[in-house]
Amino acid sequence: MNDRTAESGKIPVLNHGDERCLILRLQPETTFAVRQTLPVMAGYGFLGMAFGLMLQHAGYHAGWAFLSSALIYAGSMQFVLVGILTAGLSLPTIALMTLSINSRHIFYGLPFIQTFRAMGRRYIYMIFSLTDETYALLCSVQIPDPLDRQKVFFRMALFNQVYWVTGATLGAAFGELARFDFTGIDFAMTALFTVLLVEQWMSARLPGRWSILIGLLSGISTRLIFGADRFVLPALILAAALLMLLRPVLSRQPEHKIEGDGV
């Protein structure tokens, strides 16, 4: 910043180089969060568009896609919501369906209680924005020491919602203008979770890999017992119980990376 001031109000004037340096100092958490959320942007972009198209085909315009994605922000429940709106279900039925579909989110906030509380006014939004993909990213991201952890978490959560809202709104808008064949687009979410799981496995140390295996076996076993429509909550309960029971054993495992995995 030079010594000149603006004539009105004596406001300091920045040189072009000073402005560039100031922007660079403000941006590291933002640029890091953008890079980390790019896989989510791809998944949320396509799935959000699919939801927007479905909502438009049900008779609701892009404004409703924007509002539902901004205020509800629960991908799986929003897809179910399309059928609910056309079926005219009662409010108690809608409440029970929402609880059964999104009950897994009860467990998502447990590892972040203290972290979110320390984030001040952003605390409530972090609870609201903790979707499946955001939870997976917050659990696996490796934040460099110079960066502010709270700022990175907030920006990652915010960008993920922006991707979803943008995709849903664009999908509904495109549906009003043209017809698209999006057969198979719902597999994008499965592919996204697969990529996140592989990255977490490659970066995890030995106890972390045992935790992943416990979660995988819990999901498979409860899927076989309860079926595809009702296994998510039992799987989470079983995995959480096993991890708590085995915590003394897992905590004694050596904290080293697996040999030969290239990480």
CA distance linking residue 225 with residue 239, whole number of Å:
15
Computed over every residue of the chain, the mean pLDDT equals 78
**Which are the contacts of 175, defined by CB distance < 8 A and separation ≥ 6?**
52, 53, 56, 57
Local confidence band at 181 (pLDDT 50, 70, 90 cut-offs): low
Structure token digits, residue 92: 């108690």
Task: Give the highest mean pLDDT range of 50-54, 62-66, 83-87, 91-95.
Answer: 62-66
Q: Which residue has the higher pLDDT, 57 or 8?
A: 57
CA distance linking residue 164 with residue 49, whole number of Å:
8
Q: Average the pLDDT over 189-213 and give the result.
A: 73
Backbone angles phi, psi at 12, to 5 degrees: -60, 145
**Which are the contacts of 229, defined by CB distance < 8 A and separation ≥ 6?**
none
Contact status, residue 73 vs residue 164, Cβ threshold 8 Å: yes
pTM value is 0.64
Q: What proportion of the chain, given as a percentage, has pLDDT over 70? A: 75
Give tens-digit pLDDT for 156-172. 999 999 999 999 999 99
For the chain, which residues make up each domain, given as ranges? 34-203, 205-263
Please tell me what DSSP assigns to residue 253: S
Q: Average the pLDDT over 11-21 and give the result.
A: 48
List the single range of 91-105, 120-134, 141-155, 223-237 with lowest mean pLDDT: 91-105
Neighbours of 256 (CB within 10 A): 8
Contact status, residue 255 vs residue 247, Cβ threshold 8 Å: no
List the single range of 91-95, 124-128, 164-168 with lowest mean pLDDT: 91-95
pLDDT of residue 215: 85
